[in-house]
Every structure is written in structure tokens, then in C-alpha cells.
Structure 1
Amino acid sequence: MKLYALCDQDILDKNGISIDEFVDIAKTQNAEIIQYRNKNGDIAFMKEQLIAIRKQFEGFLIINDAYELAEYCDGVHMGQEDLLEIDSDIHKAVAILRSVINEDKILGISTHNEEEVLEANKMDLNYIGLGAFRNTATKTDITSVLGNQLDKIAAHSKHLVAAIGGVKLNDDFENVTYNVIGSGLLL
């Protein structure tokens, strides 16, 4: 399984871990992708963190939500709720995002069930995050856990699939390309 490392600034701060230390850990685990997520920081700080990661990491770098920083990384990941902040129609939101970040950037969105996966199939995306696989301490708003259904639902996606939410390094799926491992599990 390929590793997609989720670098959450709040978790780093809580554990006293620097960006450099996190990137070293991700590289040790052979991460191919790092997604930087910062729900509370300002744009200037996030830009500095992306630049710091890029100096140290040669894999794919994705920014969570802050699509205005796409020029400093390889792509953007958006949650369903965040798409709705762009437009009340998520298809239009994805089209707007694609026009802003351009075709050369990676674009992924979170999905949580078969219906959202099938809708994502109609969108210009590079991948989907699918989950939650398990309950996780970092997300308190999980409404459903897919468990063993995740792999079955992933089979319906025309896009690459990244398993999200409580995924561990040793989890194995048939229809999933990446295991997304959060900061808390990598540290």
C-alpha cells in the first residue's frame, strides 16, 4: 500500500513536532504524498510551511482547503463542506476550483459513501479520499464509519482512491491506492 501522509498543524503543535521532524518521519515511512492541513492558521504561515515542506520533500505536496496556495504545491484537497463554501452545487465548485488551480495541479475531494463516489465520477478530479474507515480522534464530526464496506465502495470509483479516517500503516485494501495516515499515527 502506498502512503499519503496527512500533516495536521494542530497535531504537530500539540505534540511539539516541527515541520522538518514530520517530513523526516514521513520520508522514513516512504510517503509518496504529504497533505498539509491547517484549519486555524493564516495564509502567510501556511505558505511558509508549504515552502519548508517543499525544501525537504520531493514527493507530491497537497494543501488542504487553501486553494489560493496551490502555486506552492502540487495540488489541493477539499472536503464536501468546503466545496459548498465555493458553490452550493459541488459540481460547479469543482469546476471553479479546476479553473483556478489549472489542469496541471492535482485535485482531490473527500467522499463518505457510494452516492458521493458516484457523483465524484462525474467530476474532473485526480483522486478521492474515501472514509472514514474507523473512528479517529482527529475528526469529531464523523457521521458514519465505513469499516469493511470501504473497499467495496472504492471499487465504484473511476478515480484513484485514498482511504481516510483511522487508517493504519498495515491496513490493506484491494481497491484503494493510498492509505492516508494522519499525523497522530505517524508520530
Structure 2
Amino acid sequence: MLMFITHPSDRYSIAEEVQMVLEGGCKWIQLRIKDISDEEFRQTALEIIPLCKENEAFLVFDDRVELAMEMGVHGVHLGKNDMNPLQARETMGAEAIIGVTANTADDILRLKGWDVDYVGLGPFRYTTTKKNLSPLLGPDGYREVVNKVREADIPLPIVAIGGITLEDIPEIMATGVNGVAVSGSIINAPNPVKYTRQLIETLNSTKKQ
């Protein structure tokens, strides 16, 4: 399971980023653009919604619950300072995809019994967008969190996030997480389409081991 998280860059527009990862086979996009107005966000979303529909890919917005409902996308990803997931579920309905951010096992244990669909757990390593906000997990941290969560009988899919590269995937997936979210390493790759394909191939091969 690969999620691509958009990130403004000097090389590509957001729509170009999304087009490339879709061409590479990614089926799950998170539109994340901080510090812009709803109208600016809406204009970017209007560019990528047709691309996601054409490629039968899921599209979630980072926060912006009302805008996600207005534009009919699949759901939202909620950070710790965003709308409460329970309120988002009540607002968006049963069919919406709702993901939440977590940094520790306790963050996920608090979600037991909540109607959320996945957890983005990180950071694996520091990135330009998440620098020094939370302790790094690394492979050992992921393994410890996954074990605690599963022992508590919480089956929520866990997606690793935070500076992940192609080379990290076998070690990360061996910890028991269900997928990875990638942003910068795709955008900065010499060939983002090819890199996306390699990420998916590596994820698929680790599942079979």
C-alpha cells in the first residue's frame, strides 16, 4: 500500500506530481498544501480530481473536511490539531475515508473503538515538513508500536511516514506496518514515474516474503 503525499516543489506543479505517480501505478493520493486559502486549494484540487478519477485512484485531502465534502473526494487525513476524527465521521458519513496522524503507540491506543480507517505513523526520519516535531521512530520504534497496538487487539492499518526512501521499504515493512506514505523521495527522484513503480514493486515483493 503506497500513499503519495503532495508537496510543493520547484520542479513540478502539484498536478504534474500527481500525474507522474499515477502513471507509476500509485492508487492513493493525499493532497497536502499548507498555508494557502481554501480557494487556492480548491483550484489545485480541480486539476487533480479528474486525474485520480481517470486512474481509479483514491484521493484524500489533508484536513479541510468541508472542502472534501463539497468536492466529493474520498476522504481526509487529520493531523493532531485538525478536526476530531469522531466529528469528521459524523460530518462526512460512513463511506468517507478518515485517516489520522500518530507518533506513539498511545496515540493509536486512544483510537480503539473509533471509526477511523488508517493511521499515519511517524516520523521514520526527519523531513523538511516534520522536522523535530516528534521523536524519530526508526525500524525498532515501528516494531514496538505495531506490537503494542496488535496486542491491544486494534486492527487499524498502520502507514509509515516521514522521509521514507525506496531503500528503507524492506526494513520498514518487516516491522509489521501495512504500507508507506512517500513524498519527497518521489518528487526528487531523477524519474518520478520509474521511482514510483520501483516503490510499488518493492512493496509487493516484501508482502510475498
**With structure 2 as the length reference, what TM-score do the two structures score?**
0.76
State yes or no: 1:77 paired with 2:112. Answer: no
Query: RMSD of aligned C-alpha atoms?
Result: 1.6
Question: C-alpha displacement at 1:65, in angstroms?
Answer: 1.1
Secondary structure of the equivalent of 1:5? strand
Distance 1:53 1:154, change over 3 A: farther
Q: 1: CA distance between counterparts of 2:23 and 2:143?
A: 27
Aligned ranges 1:47-66 → 2 under 5 Å: 47-57=42-52, 58-66=56-64
Secondary structure of the equivalent of 2:60? strand
State yes or no: 1:150 paired with 2:142. Answer: yes
Runs of 4 or more consecutive aligned structure 1 residues displaced over 3 Å after TM superposition:
none
Q: 2: CA distance between counterparts of 1:150 and 1:142?
A: 17
Question: C-alpha displacement at 1:16, in angstroms?
Answer: 4.1
Question: C-alpha displacement at 1:41, in angstroms?
Answer: 1.1
Q: AA paired with 1:167?
A: I
Question: C-alpha displacement at 1:75, in angstroms?
Answer: 0.5
Aligned to 1:168: 165
Q: 2: CA distance between counterparts of 1:167 and 1:31?
A: 16
Q: Which has the higher helix share?
A: 2
Aligned ranges 1:80-95 → 2 under 5 Å: 80-83=80-83, 93-95=84-86
Moved more, 144-153 or 108-117: 144-153
Distance 1:151 1:49, change over 3 A: farther
Aligned ranges 1:9-48 → 2 under 5 Å: 11-12=8-9, 15-48=10-43
Aligned to 1:177: 178
Q: Is the 8 A contact 1:20 1:52 kept in 2?
A: yes
Q: Is the 8 A contact 1:120 1:128 kept in 2?
A: no
Secondary structure of the equivalent of 1:110? strand
Q: Which is higher, the Rg of structure 1 or of structure 2?
A: 2
Give identity over the alignment, percent.
26
Aligned to 2:119: 128
Question: C-alpha displacement at 1:54, in angstroms?
Answer: 1.3
Q: Is the 8 A contact 2:15 2:44 kept in 1?
A: no
Question: C-alpha displacement at 1:46, in angstroms?
Answer: 1.1
Q: AA paired with 1:77?
A: H
**With structure 1 as the length reference, what TM-score do the two structures score?**
0.84
Q: 2: CA distance between counterparts of 1:42 and 1:21?
A: 21
